[in-house]
Structure 1
């Protein structure tokens, strides 16, 4: 029991000081700790790293059950405040459906990430009613969950499990499991899962009664009474939400099949669910609508407005005008807020931040002093106006200007970038006329890749900011990291 409690401790909360100071002999401190864990909210703001860690730790049965009990208790607290609110019961149903015993540990851990997104859509108020608009309101949260699921699947422990189980296309596998779960979903099955959780809660309550103070015993008793009151109404109330829950599960299964298809096409001639890939534009839009990260600005206008006209192009400098003959340089003047032609002296080291799929010899670079000022991936995205579907980061490469003549480039402040869909339409951040912006302001360099000499390119190095899309900080195993990728023009 103590070892299992300590595993849970590493994930959920700090141990009470008395517990640590008394060599694990203060049972009342342990009782208090269990109580604090059960009183927690859903922990909706967990990062992907925390979610992944939680899924690995949940291989310990006690810890997995404690996680489930915690979520059910949080649902019951909401229902107790308004037991006639169908959305509260729908949120409970989403929590319970993953506990119906038709999923193995792998599928349960993976689908819990997606289901957490669905539940957050309900508990955050995005879902207004159980009508035909449920999926439209839930989908941005599901898309954010898919992004986090991709990160979770890169975890080394999960990777090894997939290999042992010989699961090549994990998204197809999860889609199938979701449909099995849908077919098994009924009010009776949800109530049975609820009863299983109540049994675990009663065991925990017994420990808290045995170890805790009289005051804690009273509070535990009140909690059990509250949960039992919800249980008494559960069959009738859950019957009312089974159909929308089944509909949501079918939608999720279909979305996982789409991800399976995109994963297949992401790798040449092979199914490879673990190949590195940037988030799709649609996934990034959904993730931003579900939760806006600090590097994204929600506003009407650009913090750093882009240049509207291209300056004259001096002889020998890259043509960044609308009339440029180079496809990679056309209109690149509008990536600047301010700009001027500049000559980079021989021996100067330039830096380029990239992900494993990026070409080494592309147009965007920066000086060493700019690179050294960057403290995080958020800082880089903010200052150099880079959307996640453009570049996931993770690595950088250097280029040393060779002896001889200077390198002619354009240099200046990076302009803000607004998020657009594939048709070029601005994505609405809200109903107040705001859009999603990256601020810009970092001093960038735009050059002609044809002016670079491959022999003066440095080896790729890690940024130490991870390969993830939204700042969760996971390391990917099996990704072709730190491998130079020089694009040879054909």
Structure 2
């Protein structure tokens, strides 16, 4: 066993005592070591730090080959369990993409991080991936990866001044290359590497271990026989995910390099993704969210009858009750917003409801606002101009439950939905701070001079 091979194996688990004590001559112990490393599976509970660290390790020569084999083994095991589940094959495709020729180590590392969430869900029973959510989580993981000192050095060396822009362009190129032929070639490469390592196990190990190695080789071969048809079925979902992720990276590229005038520094305001919010709840649940799964104020299942002159009611599911109301002239409506929110959007509240709020927690709980929807920090008012008044929908806010979790926001406050086209810009107030700060669930937006309370009216 070469020093490079030993060092690579050591990244995954320590050498067995029998191997060390024998002066590295006990091949049976070496076989056990190789066998144990190859049994690695996708860690469903891996933290962002673990995913990022694992990806950096996988960029080391020789280690990356073992990672590829471990991923293939994990994918094949999950496919054997549910061979007709397309998402199991999607997870395999995301692993095989890493073997496409021409990918630099940094590019490959970035997308190993970005694909981690989708690959894990693809190997989980009874779970259908939500592409938008996993694109958000991919960007959240990628942000942490790009902040690593060793990655920052690589970015500078490659002159990637805006890595999101570079990655988005490369991702679209990669998506165009995803086809059954390219995936089968990558599968063949991974299968050959797996058989090479497993043949070492067979040569060095006893008959029992050799039999297990043969079973694993046969399992991989069985998946390969089905791969032509099944990989073809997985190509479209993978391309959809890659293109959606590329679009998310376009947005990150724009935000990272957008100019902010009249500010002391150039940092952009950060907003949580849904996946980041769920992860934060797992570490330290805030008081404004419950874990009962109980929706005290059930959402309307049917929209009320449309009313001429009132807003369309596509957002009725955020209401427990709702009815058409005309707000008289000179009354003020309040809207809690973050620096990226539009002034003229649909969600508002009355002055009396606003004055009941004593904290950010009150607002999130009673108006059922997830942190990934609105990061708050500021508010504006709209004074209804003279005339016939403003036609709105008003009612009790429905409870909100995060899909596939027991996390619930209570609701119960009186909310108002308006038609933004019925509002006039001249009657919007300047932005003011809520006094609640801009941070949420671990994000750090305590930026000197940022954000400026600048109105943001969508024309």
Alignment-derived partner of residue 116 in structure 2: 116
Structure 1 residues not aligned, in runs of 5+:
129-133, 303-329, 337-384, 391-414, 438-466, 472-478
Alignment-derived partner of residue 151 in structure 1: 144
1:223 and 1:6 map into 2 onto residues whose CA distance is 24
Residue 226 of structure 1 and its aligned partner are, at CA, apart by 0.7
Is 2:205 the partner of 1:212?
Answer: yes
Is 2:358 the partner of 1:334?
Answer: yes
Match runs of 1:227-246 below 5 Å: 227-246=220-239
State the secondary structure of the residue aligned to 2:283: coil
Contact persistence 2:271–2:375 (CA under 8 A):
no
Contact persistence 1:144–1:290 (CA under 8 A):
no
State the secondary structure of the residue aligned to 1:162: helix
State the secondary structure of the residue aligned to 2:214: helix
Contact persistence 1:116–1:145 (CA under 8 A):
yes
- Alpha-carbon deviations, 1:28-80, whole Å to 9, x = none? 22321221222221123322322332232223221111111111111111222
Distance change (3 Å), C-alpha of 1:468 and 1:212: farther
Q: Note the aligned Cα RMSD (angstroms).
A: 4.3
1:277 and 1:65 map into 2 onto residues whose CA distance is 38
1:277 and 1:177 map into 2 onto residues whose CA distance is 24
Residue 289 of structure 1 and its aligned partner are, at CA, apart by 4.3
State the secondary structure of the residue aligned to 1:334: coil
Alignment-derived partner of residue 195 in structure 2: 202
Contact persistence 2:116–2:138 (CA under 8 A):
yes
Is 2:4 the partner of 1:3?
Answer: yes
Contact persistence 1:102–1:181 (CA under 8 A):
no
Distance change (3 Å), C-alpha of 1:109 and 1:268: farther
Distance change (3 Å), C-alpha of 1:245 and 1:484: closer
Match runs of 1:129-168 below 5 Å: 137-168=130-161
Match runs of 1:21-420 below 5 Å: 21-125=21-125, 128=128, 137-265=130-258, 279-281=270-272, 283=273, 285-289=274-278, 292-296=281-285, 298-299=291-292, 334-335=358-359, 419-420=370-371
State the secondary structure of the residue aligned to 1:42: coil
1:33 and 1:187 map into 2 onto residues whose CA distance is 34
1:71 and 1:217 map into 2 onto residues whose CA distance is 21
- TM-score, normalised on structure 1? 0.59
1:50 and 1:57 map into 2 onto residues whose CA distance is 10
1:127 and 1:187 map into 2 onto residues whose CA distance is 25
- Alpha-carbon deviations, 1:275-308, whole Å to 9, x = none? 8767513x1x233447852312524699xxxxxx
Contact persistence 1:4–1:60 (CA under 8 A):
no
Contact persistence 1:140–1:289 (CA under 8 A):
no
Alignment-derived partner of residue 19 in structure 1: 19
2:243 and 2:403 map into 1 onto residues whose CA distance is 28
Number of aligned residue pairs: give it.
Answer: 342
Residue 422 of structure 1 and its aligned partner are, at CA, apart by 2.5
- Alpha-carbon deviations, 1:385-433, whole Å to 9, x = none? 8xxxx9xxxxxxxxxxxxxxxxxxxxxxxx9x97353298875224788
2:42 and 2:406 map into 1 onto residues whose CA distance is 32
Distance change (3 Å), C-alpha of 1:266 and 1:7: farther
1:76 and 1:468 map into 2 onto residues whose CA distance is 40
- TM-score, normalised on structure 2? 0.63
- Alpha-carbon deviations, 1:164-201, whole Å to 9, x = none? 11011101111111111111111010010001101111
Distance change (3 Å), C-alpha of 1:334 and 1:201: same
Distance change (3 Å), C-alpha of 1:8 and 1:144: farther
Alignment-derived partner of residue 299 in structure 2: none
Structure 2 residues not aligned, in runs of 5+:
296-353, 377-396, 411-438, 454-459
Contact persistence 2:183–2:231 (CA under 8 A):
yes
Distance change (3 Å), C-alpha of 1:25 and 1:142: farther
2:127 and 2:256 map into 1 onto residues whose CA distance is 29
Residue 20 of structure 1 and its aligned partner are, at CA, apart by 4.1
Alignment-derived partner of residue 347 in structure 1: none
1:69 and 1:220 map into 2 onto residues whose CA distance is 13
Residue 264 of structure 1 and its aligned partner are, at CA, apart by 1.5
Residue 209 of structure 1 and its aligned partner are, at CA, apart by 1.9
